[in-house]
Structure 1
């Protein structure tokens, strides 16, 4: 579907904050929603020192801080340095395109395969390709580990696991070929590069794969092993951990301390929750 654009996207990042009435808003991308507890504690410290004292969650399983002081169109240099010290800004050049969602329970319980290594490899490949730095901050990769929890999430590129060894690619609104899990990250990164070349440059360049005038690749029929969509992860005790609902006004220092007390890492979910991983017997 062709869409006419007249400007680049304005999706916020740390190096490209959004100027709101209460100050600068920044978004920090998490790969598959995973965040080290130490980094989350450091980020709420930054918010306490410079902003509204809270860390907010997004529907893409990312984090936001709002009310930060700015210097022109960017953050105050002290704030930028404090955010970088949290470890949540691993790249300046590619921060806006690190939009990689994955099934939150992957590798913890259920699913057909642990997609955490695939998500990490994809992130590394995206950040290593200089041509991808210009992609829209709304460009989204979605990785479903075969449980069907993210199957209905629209995306630009992604995959759905069919079994422990294979997955079917998602390409815009359609499906691509079945590929081995071991090569899936490389194939998705190659498709992202192909899109970056096809889209061109300038404010009129498409943001999404579905906006191209013709398909990025030849699409395929649905593999019979594709799962059926499943509802959002319930709050409360779930296989692999405890899913905690986060209030609309975000996380404060006390809440972050409670959530991170017994877990070295957490998973932010697309349903504005926090999954605290638990060891399974």
Structure 2
């Protein structure tokens, strides 16, 4: 089915904010979901000083603030923290990677591909014209982010080879892992030539086949099967090297500014997952025990069986003018 859009893409960003009923909504792209402690502190302070006191996590591993009173000041703070490396490309930096890649499990470590893809994407002026809904996925072979319906992605089938994922499915084409970024961005350029007013590759009739043809690629293997919905990694997660990552869920995917400041104070990498949870990475066992003791009472959920992990809701009133409750 061919589906086209009759209105411009209004997907919000940090500069192009959405005017919601409760004020400006600003969305911050976090390639790979990665936040340094300093960057998380910036978001926490901004939520407290400029917003409604909360950081909302999104299903693409990004973060957003509601009721932003001074969007220009917020953008300035983001830029100072390194969270706004490109004003022209900021809305198209939607890059998901398997959150535990390189630490626990997976066929290959894809962490370096995130930075390479982000830098190369932002360096191409033409790619700023991609829709704000465009999604790149880098799956380390476990099938977690390949299941999320990205437009352009790779799925590791060995340490050196990846499957090319287009419109959320394995195209059957195989490429060297070292060619991943070049091929993904070439595919995005082809999409720009084909798209008219389409927002997603899946909306273009024969889009996958047309992209493969333009890239002079063809299916050479049976498609990877088993892409399936994944639950967030929650709780105590042991690394092979003896370190620990803690997976914490959040009710409705909302991270209170005070809790965010406590997370930042641990001074370890934080990863926002596409399941609206967070990972606090690379802890020793003693530190992990202290984090659980302090942050669980503050609302970080370390129980993988918590019913809160199965609940979602729209923002409701007063955030949405169409809400009834």
Q: 1:254 to 1:210 in 2, by over 3 A?
A: same
Query: d(CA) in 2 for partners of 1:173 and 1:109?
Result: 24
Bigger Rg over Cα = 2
Write the mapping of 1:70-89 to structure 2, written as runs, cut at 5 A.
75=71, 77-89=72-84
Q: How does 1:1-281 map to 2 (within 5 A)?
A: 1-69=1-69, 75=71, 77-176=72-171, 177-200=173-196, 205-215=197-207, 216-218=211-213, 220=219, 223=222, 229=228, 231-240=230-239, 241-248=245-252, 250-278=254-282
CA distance in 2, matches of 1:28, 1:270: 14
Instruction: Tell me how far apart the structure 2 counterparts of residues 227 and 163 of structure 1 sit (CA, whole Å).
Output: 16
Deviates more, 1:139-148 or 1:205-214: 205-214
1:214-270 per-residue CA deviation (whole Å, 9 max, x = no partner) reads: 332246375466666463234211244110012327222321132233343210011
Between Structure 1 and Structure 2, how many residues are aligned?
272
Large movers: runs of 4+ above 6 Å: none
Gap regions ≥5 residues in structure 1 = none
1:78 and 1:276 mapped to 2: Cα distance? 28
| Alpha-carbon distance between aligned partners in 2 of 1:154 and 1:225, rounded to the nearest angstrom | 14
In structure 2, C-alpha distance between the alignment counterparts of 1:225 and 1:18, rounded to whole Å: 38
**What is the Cα-based RMSD across aligned positions, in Å?**
2.1
The 3 A distance-change label for structure 1 pair 41 and 79 is same
- Residue in structure 1 matched with residue 312 of structure 2 by the alignment: none
Distance across 1 between alignment mates of 2:17 and 2:161: 39
Q: Give the 3 Å change call, closer, same or farther, for CA 254–161 of structure 1 in structure 2.
A: same
Aligned to 2:315: none
Q: Look up the SS of the partner of 2:157 in the other structure.
A: strand
Structure with greater proportional helix content: 2
Structure of higher RCO (CA pairs closer than 8 Å, 6+ residues apart): 1
TM-score (norm 2): 0.78
Give, in whole Å, the separation in 2 of the partners of 1:221 and 1:270. Answer: 30
- Residues 168 and 100 of structure 1: is their aligned pair in 2 closer, same or farther, counting only changes over 3 Å? same
- Runs (5+) with no aligned partner, structure 2: 240-244, 286-325
Cα distance in structure 2, aligned partners of 1:5 and 1:228: 28
Contact 1:143 / 1:158 at 8 angstroms: preserved in 2?
A: yes
